[in-house]
Amino acid sequence: MTYPEPEVIEYVNDHFVPWNINTADEVDLIQRFDIFSTPSIVFMDPKGRDFYRSIGYLPPTRFIGRLIFGEAWVAFRTRHYEHAGDLFEIVGREHPDCSIAPEAIFFRGAARDKITGDHSNRAISAAELKERFPKSNWTFSASVWIED
């Protein structure tokens, strides 16, 4: 079980408004959110806009990384770029075994460049991806950001 872990409980309570939906009872919500597999976690902003989803069970250490990543996506999509960059940074640095670590490094650069208005942070992300995750698709996507 993932949620009984104290680290997960603390992170969820501190960083989110947690909403439990029992799929056996909430047919309307399942249809409205187009839930096709459980467990599914939908990360939304305070207006209820759906910005990121995580499907399937993860062990606690990897689940924390996914929680931070979902939080980062909500921050990014609501234009809180500094916060998003910091959260993507944590995922890339502290959760390297999570499958989304390369994606987090990719979007860390994108978020920080939204603040600076240039491409310098994307180039830093691209170089880091090339060194740490040379076979990731995100590394290939970021390769266009590396100046010759």
Partner 1 sequence: MAVTTGIHWLTDESTVLDAALQTQKPVLADFRNPN
Please report, as ranges, the residues that interact with partner 1 according to CB under 8 A. 3, 6, 9-10, 12-24, 26, 29-30, 33, 35, 38-48, 67, 70-71, 74-75
DSSP 100-141: THHHHHHHHHHHHHHHHSSSHHHHHHHHHHHHH-TT-HHHHH
Q: Of 11 and 146, which CB lies nearer to partner 1 in the complex structure?
A: 11
Peptide bond into 39 cis (omega under 30): yes
Burial class (CB in 10 A: 0-12, 13-18, 19+), 65: buried
Tokens coding 142: 């970021």
User: Taking the alpha carbons of 63, 102, 112, 73 in that order, is the dihedral positive or negative?
Assistant: negative
Tokens coding 64: 């924390």
Task: Compute the least distance from the CB of residue 96 to partner 1, in Å.
Answer: 23
Q: Of 19 and 135, which CB lies nearer to partner 1 in the complex structure?
A: 19
Nearest-angstrom CA–CA distance, 125 and 131: 10
Q: Of 2 and 120, which CB lies nearer to partner 1 in the complex structure?
A: 2
Task: Compute the least distance from the CB of residue 128 to partner 1, in Å.
Answer: 26
Task: Compute the least distance from the CB of residue 104 to partner 1, in Å.
Answer: 16
Q: Of 3 and 140, which CB lies nearer to partner 1 in the complex structure?
A: 3
Q: Of 72 and 126, which CB lies nearer to partner 1 in the complex structure?
A: 72
Task: Compute the least distance from the CB of residue 75 to partner 1, in Å.
Answer: 8
Task: Compute the least distance from the CB of residue 114 to partner 1, in Å.
Answer: 18
